[in-house]
């Protein structure tokens, strides 16, 4: 079987990791990208034996590193068919007037600029073949602004706008572009947001059943297995207990 190639950013953990595992099951070979080699090594060990995989270690914030890494892809991994722009995170949950600029920079650099760099590095091979699929992982935060989340929400609204812009500008090609916007997913997202404060992170997911990384991977598997003429352009998914970013039916 001729296996397609999927490149997943942020594959070391959470949604990216679950998606890589699921795409391997769906018959993709994988380019798994991340900053943490041990986690990528572990992921590779868990991949089914018929899945060929290649690691790329880079920080999406570093423009030169991103392009160098993508250019370094061996011949058999160069023609990326599916790009999952998943790398992203939140830094802090503070009022605008109190939040450190470092947090703002990190979120803009990772969630927006990182996605731009990876997309621009991968797109030429898709354009050459007039074929490909890009899925950007946004957030419900793209669709509404919640208190203390101004810049995180802005960064994800940016992902939403960039997705729509890509759809317009690539409309004349056969390249599909879509976004998936998850609400509360139980990963290390909150641990990163709260800078290692595990207790505070755990509170976020208490009292209801949050989405799991595998739920998003399952949706991605559905999205990428539609016929060519079907593009899931914009998809919002929340736990049943969640109505919006600040309304969660918690049974505490």
Catalytic residues: 152
In this chain, which stretch among 77-85, 161-169, 183-191, 213-221 interacts with ligand 8X3, using CB under 6 A? 183-191
φ and ψ of 45, to 5 deg: -65, -30
Q: Per-residue x/- mask for ligand 8X3, residues 219 to 248, rule CB under 6 A?
A: --------------------------x---
Please identify, using beta-carbon distances, which residue of 85 and 245 lies nearer to ligand 8X3: 245
Using rule CB under 6 A, residue 184 touches ligand 8X3 = yes
Please identify, using beta-carbon distances, which residue of 116 and 237 lies nearer to ligand 8X3: 237
What is the 8-class DSSP label of residue 100? -
Alpha-carbon distance 216 to 113, whole Å? 23
Using rule CB under 6 A, residue 163 touches ligand 8X3 = no
Please identify, using beta-carbon distances, which residue of 163 and 245 lies nearer to ligand 8X3: 245
Which among 167, 14, 20 is positioned nearest to 90, based on CA atoms?
A: 14
Decide if 85 contacts 135 (C-beta within 8 A).
Answer: yes
Interaction residues for ligand 8X3, span 3-42 (CB under 6 A)? none
Q: In the β-sheet with 132-137, what is the strand arrangement from edge to edge?
A: 53-57, 28-34, 4-8, 82-85, 132-137, 175-182, 234-237
Distance of CA 45 to the CA centre of its chain: 22
Please identify, using beta-carbon distances, which residue of 20 and 184 lies nearer to ligand 8X3: 184
φ and ψ of 98, to 5 deg: -110, -20
The least distance separating ligand 8X3 from the CB of residue 140, rounded to whole angstroms, comes to 6
Using rule CB under 6 A, residue 114 touches ligand 8X3 = no
φ and ψ of 84, to 5 deg: -105, 105
Secondary structure of residue 235 in the 3-state scheme: strand
The least distance separating ligand 8X3 from the CB of residue 244, rounded to whole angstroms, comes to 9
Secondary structure of residue 32 in the 3-state scheme: strand
Alpha-carbon distance 245 to 140, whole Å? 7
Decide if 35 contacts 10 (C-beta within 8 A).
Answer: no
Interaction residues for ligand 8X3, span 124-153 (CB under 6 A)? 139-141
Using rule CB under 6 A, residue 183 touches ligand 8X3 = yes
Site size toward ligand 8X3 (CB under 6 A) is 7
Q: Tokens 């203390």 belong to which residue?
A: 148
The least distance separating ligand 8X3 from the CB of residue 246, rounded to whole angstroms, comes to 8
The least distance separating ligand 8X3 from the CB of residue 150, rounded to whole angstroms, comes to 12
The least distance separating ligand 8X3 from the CB of residue 103, rounded to whole angstroms, comes to 14
Please identify, using beta-carbon distances, which residue of 106 and 141 lies nearer to ligand 8X3: 141
Alpha-carbon distance 126 to 25, whole Å? 23
Residues that bind ligand 8X3 (CB under 6 A): 139-141, 183-184, 189, 245
């Amino acid at each position: 079987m001729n296996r397609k190639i999927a490149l997943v950013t942020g594959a070391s953990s959470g949604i990216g990791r679950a998606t890589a595992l699921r795409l391997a099951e769906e018959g993709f070979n994988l380019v798994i990208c991340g900053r943490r080699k041990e986690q990528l090594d572990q992921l590779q060990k868990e991949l089914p034996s018929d899945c060929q995989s290649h690691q790329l270690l880079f920080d999406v914030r570093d423009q030169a590193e991103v392009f160098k890494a993508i250019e370094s892809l061996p011949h058999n991994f160069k023609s990326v068919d599916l790009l999952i722009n998943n790398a992203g995170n939140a830094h802090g949950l503070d009022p605008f007037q109190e939040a450190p600029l470092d947090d703002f920079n990190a979120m803009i650099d990772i969630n927006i600029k990182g996605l731009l760099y990876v997309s621009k590095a991968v797109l030429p091979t898709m354009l050459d073949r007039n074929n490909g699929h890009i899925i950007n992982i946004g957030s419900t935060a793209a669709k509404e602004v919640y208190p203390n989340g101004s810049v995180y929400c802005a960064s994800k609204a940016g992902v939403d706008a960039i997705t729509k812009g890509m759809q317009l500008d690539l409309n004349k090609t056969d390249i599909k572009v879509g976004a998936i916007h998850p609400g509360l997913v139980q990963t290390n997202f909150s641990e990163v947001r709260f800078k290692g404060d595990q207790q505070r992170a755990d509170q976020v997911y208490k009292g209801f059943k949050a989405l799991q990384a595998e739920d998003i991977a399952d949706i991605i598997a559905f999205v990428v297995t539609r016929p060519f003429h079907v593009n899931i352009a914009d998809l919002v998914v929340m736990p049943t207990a969640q109505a919006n970013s600040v309304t969660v039916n918690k049974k505490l």
